[in-house]
């Protein structure tokens, strides 16, 4: 968000710089000692201060509401993780999914795709079936929390979309997940 503030203040500076230009003063004389003078924005300092303060209230801290970044930010995670060869939801996964369901309740136009993923220690086709199971487990839970089933599609990527390229327990645990991706963002209802 700081970036946004910076951008806004940068815009302000630019605008004020533009506003200050109508003084096409002594062009020929300045040529010899030009550089130092052109870059001084002094007189506009006050204006800058004023505008910087305003957006702090208008823009909440965090991603833009209704976006996939916001979904992830608010839910705590856009992924839930599974045990080896498992597709049942852990307590932690349920908590994340409750938050996801809340968000989906708030942004009722949003549509999500749940992608099921598996680690590399299974064979390709079995893992596709396992990924489908995981995606469906997430969908079923979200639906149980009141999200309309038509707003959630599921897809399996099997072991084709690892997020950690390692070949160790930690990487495998990361790669056994279901990823909720916001396909169509939501406006507030």
Partner 1 sequence: MNIALRPSKIIRRLSKIIRATALVASLFVSMFAATLAHGQLEIDIVHGAPEPVPVAIPDFLSSHPETDQIAKDMAAVISANLERSGLFRVLDQDTYIEKQTDINYQPRFADWRVIDAKALLSGQIVREGPNRLKVEFRLWDIYANEQLDGKRLATTPDNWRRIAHKISDYIYKRLTGEGGYFDSRIVYIAESGPKTNRRKRLAIMDADGANARNLLADSDLVLTPRFSPVFEERGARKKVQLITYLSWETGRPQVFLQEIETGNRELLGNFSGMTISPRFSPDGRKLIFSMVKRGNSDIYVFDRGSRSTTRLTTNQAIDVSPSFSPDGRKIVFNSDRGGSPQLYIMDADGSNVKRLSFGDGRYTAPSWSPRGDLIAFTKSNKGKFHIGVMEANTGKGERLLTNSYLDEGPTWSPNGRVILFTRETRGRNARASIWSVDLTGRNLQKVPTPGAASDPAWSPILP
Q: Provide the binding-site residues for partner 1, judged by CB under 8 A.
A: 85, 87, 113, 120-126, 128-130, 132-133, 135-137, 139-140, 153-158, 160, 162-167
Compare residues 146 and 169 and give the one whose CB is closer to partner 1. Answer: 169
Q: Which is nearer to partner 1, 11 or 155 (CB)?
A: 155
| Residue 145 C-beta: closest distance to partner 1, Å | 17
What backbone phi and psi angles, to 5 degrees, belong to 79?
-125, 150
Q: Residue 62, by phi and psi: left (phi above 0), alpha (psi -120 to 50) or beta?
A: left
CB of 89 to partner 1, least distance (A): 12
**Cβ 77 to partner 1 shortest distance, Å:** 18
Nearer CB in complex with partner 1: 34/84: 84
Residue 143 CA, chain-centre distance (Å), reads: 23
Nearer to partner 1, 16 or 152 (CB): 152
**Cα dihedral across residues 158, 160, 165, 168: positive or negative:** positive
CB half-sphere exposure, 130, CA atoms < 13 A:
24
Taken in order 160, 165, 170, 174, the sign of the CA dihedral is negative
Q: How far is the CB of 136 from partner 1 (least distance, A)?
A: 2
Contact assessment for residue 182 and residue 67, using Cβ atoms and an 8 Å cutoff: yes
């Amino acid at each position: 968000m700081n970036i946004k503030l910076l951008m806004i203040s940068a815009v302000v500076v630019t605008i004020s710089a533009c506003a200050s230009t109508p003084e096409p003063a002594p062009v020929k004389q300045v040529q010899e000692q030009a550089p130092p003078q052109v870059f001084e924005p002094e007189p506009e300092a006050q204006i800058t201060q004023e505008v910087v303060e305003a957006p702090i209230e208008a823009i909440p801290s965090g991603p833009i509401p209704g976006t996939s970044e916001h979904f992830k930010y608010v839910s705590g995670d856009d992924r839930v993780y599974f045990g080896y060869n498992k597709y049942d939801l852990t307590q932690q996964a349920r908590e994340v999914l409750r938050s996801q369901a809340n968000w989906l309740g708030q942004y009722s136009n949003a549509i999500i795709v749940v992608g099921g993923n598996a680690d590399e220690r299974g064979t390709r086709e079995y893992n596709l079936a396992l990924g489908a199971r995981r995606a469906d487990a997430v969908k079923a839970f979200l639906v149980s929390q009141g999200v309309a089933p038509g707003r959630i599609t599921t897809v399996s990527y099997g072991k084709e979309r690892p997020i950690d390229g390692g070949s160790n327990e930690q990487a495998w645990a990361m790669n056994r997940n279901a990823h909720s991706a916001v396909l169509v963002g939501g406006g507030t209802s």
